[in-house]
């Protein structure tokens, strides 16, 4: 495994403090999502499996803020520092970001933030986000998934929730380490990471054109339909 050339440890203190209104909004939206997913069918995958814990786990800015808040509540300074210095930015094969919250050593219940995990992790293994393994995929209504998705990615007026990178670009969806780097205003460093490795599935909005894209290794934009 490699690691991104970015000092995540150095940005820790700059991203922890968020306005109360932002934290409250993120917590409320996550609670509404949990409510929508209460009727979700039970998983058929074994608790020992961690296949879906690998490969650049995407989340909204709302989920990132909520997870960051929970980390501050539940982790002491030493544990937070260890997380940011050792786990953030670790690369798996094909330059995929390892989720910093997967606990490889455990035989079951591998997620360190299971109660606050992102939406994609909640529905993975159902028909809403089918697993690649040969298991029975329980049906989960697409309408319920998109209701939950919209709560996390869009405001009531239909505008998307993102983090401005420049006058014309905004980060829309990303793995936790990329959100953290962008949240620290290290925009040039983030764009340099994208140019070298690709955006690791992170989605960026070309705001003037109202188009979303990912970045391929080498810096080329791949616009999404």
Pair (14, 108) in one structural domain = yes
Pair (91, 198) in one structural domain = no
What is the number of H-type helices and E-type strands within the chain?
8, 7
Convert the pLDDT of each residue in 28-58 to its tens digit: 999 999 998 887 777 667 767 767 777 788 9
Pair (68, 138) in one structural domain = yes
Q: How many CB atoms lie within 10 A of CB 171?
A: 23
Pair (182, 86) in one structural domain = no
Residues of the domain holding 106: 2-153
Q: Which residue has the higher pLDDT, 138 or 117?
A: 117
Q: Is the pLDDT of residue 148 over 70?
A: yes
Pair (34, 109) in one structural domain = yes
Give the C-alpha separation, 185 to 68, whole Å. 16
Number of domains forming the structure of the chain? 2
How large is the average pLDDT for residues 2-28? 95
Residue count of the chain, please give it. 225
Structure confidence at residue 127 (pLDDT):
57
- Place 189 in a pLDDT band, splitting at 50, 70 and 90: very high
Give the C-alpha separation, 25 to 184, whole Å. 20
Convert the pLDDT of each residue in 55-91 to its tens digit: 788 999 999 999 999 999 999 999 999 999 999 999 9
Give the C-alpha separation, 42 to 206, whole Å. 38
Contact criterion met (CB below 8 Å) for 71 and 157: no
The reply to whether 158 falls in a domain is no
Give the C-alpha separation, 17 to 68, whole Å. 9
- Final residue of a structural domain among 101, 129, 153: 153
């Amino acid at each position: 495994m490699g690691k991104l050339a970015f000092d995540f440890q150095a940005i820790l203190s700059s991203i922890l403090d968020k306005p109360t209104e932002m934290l409250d909004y993120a917590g409320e939206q996550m609670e509404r999502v949990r409510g929508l997913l209460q009727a979700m069918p039970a998983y058929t995958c074994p608790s020992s499996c961690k296949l879906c814990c690998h490969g650049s786990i995407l989340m909204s800015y709302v989920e990132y803020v909520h997870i960051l808040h929970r980390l501050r509540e539940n982790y002491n300074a030493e544990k937070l520092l260890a997380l940011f210095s050792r786990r953030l930015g670790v690369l798996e094969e094909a330059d995929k970001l390892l989720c910093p919250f997967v606990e490889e050593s455990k035989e079951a219940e591998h997620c360190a933030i299971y109660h606050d995990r992102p939406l994609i992790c909640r529905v993975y293994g159902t028909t809403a986000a089918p697993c690649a393994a040969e298991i029975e995929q329980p049906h989960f209504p697409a309408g319920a998934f998109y209701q939950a998705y919209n709560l996390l990615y869009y405001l009531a007026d239909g505008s998307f929730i993102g983090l401005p990178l420049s006058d014309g670009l905004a980060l829309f969806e990303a793995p936790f380490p990329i959100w953290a780097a962008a949240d620290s205003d290290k925009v040039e460093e983030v764009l340099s990471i994208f140019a070298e490795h690709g955006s690791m599935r992170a989605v960026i909005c070309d705001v003037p054109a109202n188009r979303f894209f990912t970045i391929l290794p080498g810096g080329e934009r791949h616009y999404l339909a």
